[in-house]
Structure 1
């Protein structure tokens, strides 16, 4: 019972709660609270009337119904909310559409393009894309297509910063089409917005001015950098003429160190007179231009100076270094002058015509070649007029149709390459004519008179044939090898001498082949030397000469010499007979030399052996003539005198022979010392006093005042003078005169011995100095051993002097002896 009671109570509470919930739920949607109270009362009465089981079933049914009611009520509530939200949405949409229309209307007031980057990668683009010249919306963002590279890069960088960091920007752009676009970037509501708006009106003008200013600043910066970097002095002056700016080149030119120093110290590049002239020209014409001389970095240079001024009086100047140009101009002028001098000195006639076919230059050879009047040539005649003048004077080739020939000849003005012609002139002259067109349309003529050359060529051809015939008939064997070593030319003697086949030589074999053929006939390897000479390359080679002894006993003289063209001339001469005779003569000469040496030794020995007994004879003869020994009759005294004189003469001959033998042996030397010239001459003359007295001669000694000393071997000088006096005395006639004189020259002492003898014929002058040669004629009985003059010449030669003889038949003889000395001292 208790359990049932608890169950009943639970059902009541459940029904009461459901009724309350339903009432509350209905009250939320019912039109009034009365309906809710009625429902609550009906639910309580129903619960009181039910039993426990009915109450449980009723509670269950009521719960299900209540759930269904709650669902229906919730649906109704949601439906009403949806209706309200839909109505609010419609109102808001209408408001947004109105706002959108208003914004679109505002956007359309300006020509602009807007790009919005939201959550996606591609932006939304709206507006007039034609302002940037784009055909598609996305082409708007291809900034490089409608902007310059610099501005396009700056805009791309700004857009990237806007999208990544939200950095706003504003910039003015100029498109390729010349439009001015204002670009503005903002971050709005988490989106990046780029607006491109065309600047028109005042903004466009301001943008245009700003762009011009930017370009001007850029250009000014570039120009300033360029001017600063130029190696040309430039400067700016104010209205008073003072420097206000200069570049680094100006500072270097005036040695100021820096441009600021040059401006601060107002250092001028030009002289005062040049500056005054420039200021006057600028004041009058606004410009000054002249080539001036100035000191640039310590060197004197030629400058092309240009100065200009504006209306406010501010001026600028520049100085271009024209020194090299002046040098080049001067050099060009000198070159032209030199070329004219060269052309004037040429034997080739040169005539230059300009593009108008008028003569502008001719050299003397051209005038002489054709004999034209200088006055006519100096008037710069036309080419056709010159040809007409030459034709009238018959100095052109004879032509049937001269006008046609002239017109064809003048087509050389339009040619590209030089042309050459040969002119056969009346009278037999031949000219070589070269026409050389110039780039400026003119024409240069070169005329060479080749008459003589053609004649010489004809003569050369004749001489060549003559030389060929001469070569073929030479007894010497001749062969010419080219620079490649092959045989170029040979004569029949070469073929016969070396027993070669003409057919084999016709193939022009190499020197190696010919050497192999000929070497078998030689005892020595001489052909290797000839082969080395033929194949030698470059340089100058001395001729090679070799003697070849062949196996057959013949002897050849071979020579090889290089020719100017690089060829080698090889000649062979058969000297077998000459060598045989030479060998015989050599053997005979050797035998003669041995005999002469034997004779010399014999004479030296005999002379030495004769000297001792002769000395005894002279001594005994002198004793016999001495009165202390005993008196002699007149006849005995004469005999003793003859013995003494003959012995003395014989002793002199023996002494001469000994002296010659000593000279021949190379054993004689001179002993120079300071000798008295006067005493030497007197001592030599005393030796012939007896013979002079015997023949009744007169001896004249010519001793000029002031004759002093000389450096020489005194004994040998006396011997020379004694022999000359003895020879003169021997050939002098009875009562004649013998003269001995001396004169001092700058580098020699000259003795002269003259006689009045019969003289010497011209053909015998050279023989009188030979040994054992003596000359005598019908007027003179003198005939010596022929040693005196030979001794004289040998002794004078030892002193380094010379002997001269002057004689003619019937006019006497004079012998002059020159002794070279370093100095001759005058007597005090």
Structure 2
């Protein structure tokens, strides 16, 4: 009604404005159109044009005021009449609205309306129908707060379709509180309206029946789809035994064309005897279960057949159990194989079931405990076996046997394995492992570990001995694993490399050890060789190196590959040895230089002596010549002494020169044929005067037809002369010196034997040295060069000299000359 009044007022105001505008327009138009009239008025009253226009507007307003007053009176009368009429209509509409509202909400319901283009709905009705009064009415739009998830989602979709497309809906739902409601949506007068009301009476029962029917229908369709898609044959029969239902798997199994064909021909899956047993079992009981062989597609397979007796007949299903049967048979075979395997084990095995009775044992178990086979085959319980073993003193001595046995039997309730070690009274050590079985019971494993424990103790003892040995070694030792980390080391290692005592405790890598040792020895090539030797996988070889460190010490380093893939690294301090060796080497070099100086000096002196000796000998011979004039007897005697002395001195000088030449490697033999007999004769002729003076007899023993050999005849004669001279010098008066010659396959052997005092054992290796004179028992003290020349000349010929002597009986010197000098020279070259 208020809106109607406002509308009327607005219309009146707009009418008045229109009338004013209409009244003013003629006046203004008259003045604007008739310029002569405006000019006349201006001239008459003495006004300008602006004043004339203001006058015209004033006249128009005066006329308008009169007209407006009349019109306003009319409008007020008309508005009063319209207001009375509208008041009557509004009161009538209000009464109709109250009657319709009373009729609409005569039963509990909720109305939700959305105007076109307005997202804010108007909600009216009893909201307690779906939710408590405490909540805001707007919360009713959150359907998930008072509906289960699936109906709430269904409601959301229906309301969205109503508002967007105007699609009506009718839903029978159940709230979270269990109340049955009806939700109806319609598009009316450009508005989307949803009505929610509770169902009651027949309508509620009908709605619930529809819901149950729909659920049963869905369940039935689901079961039908499952039965149709199931890979197992499923069927249903009437009371008369006729086939009423079969799935696709049944049709395939019975080789039918289709389900209809199978039903029409009443195809049977089971054989007649099997059907008879099934029918009899269903008549006696309500169900039947059996594992039967069935021929399907020409192949005989094993099926688990399950059948139920129903009110209108029976239903059955056949599940393929061929694989299960094969697996069961395989499991049986596997169990049997395991039993045979366990029988071959050296460990004793005993299996007890959930009732604690022995179900399996192997021969090792029986032998370990010495139990009677008949007793074990009787499936005794665990406690009986323990009691018998205790009676036979084959269990560890326990102060409380009951508590000990109860703790052992906790394995029947445990989930993890336990390990024990039993030390028996007979000295044996038995390792016991209790393992719970999945199906109940316990499996016992028994091993005699007496020998293993003894070996472990021996190993531990050897390890300690090894540790003590390594710790007390003078060498620095470290053992590196195949990963290059130091696993073992001794204190000398850290001491030798001046490392902290705990530097190698963390098993550092060889590279870290190298970094710690580099301050004393920084040779990249040496450390690289050590790293490769330690970390190499293939071609592992021993490496020996010598390290000269910055502190002046010298180390011998050696890596030794170990059988287990590890590498032993050892360092030995050889500084003292190296210093001694260096000193010996320097001394040897000094001795060699002195020896060379001696040889050079002797050679030089000998060479310088020959010239004056030759002159003296020459003048002595010249003086002894009668042509130089007669000599007195005394002069002749002195001249003879000079001649003999100079000849001896010349021979000594020649010998020294020969030795020096041989020692320098410059001596060359003048090879040619050597007549053995003539060589002996020439050598003997040189000592005839000494033989006569010392009353010594010379015995020559030469094989007949001995012939000769190839050699330097002059040197051979010199050798034999020196041997005879040496023998004569050591032989007593009236003794005999023997010289012999014999021929072998490859050599000629000369031997000179005397009956002198002999040579002691400690002097035999020295008689061939320069200036080494053995004067004991000799009447002539020589320079000690004779035997040295003998050995040198014989060895130049490729022969050898040996001395056989017995103290107090004499000495024999033997010289072997090879017959073929060509073969000797080729071999030397």
TM-score by length of 1: 0.45
Task: State the TM-score, normalizing by the size of structure 2.
Answer: 0.45
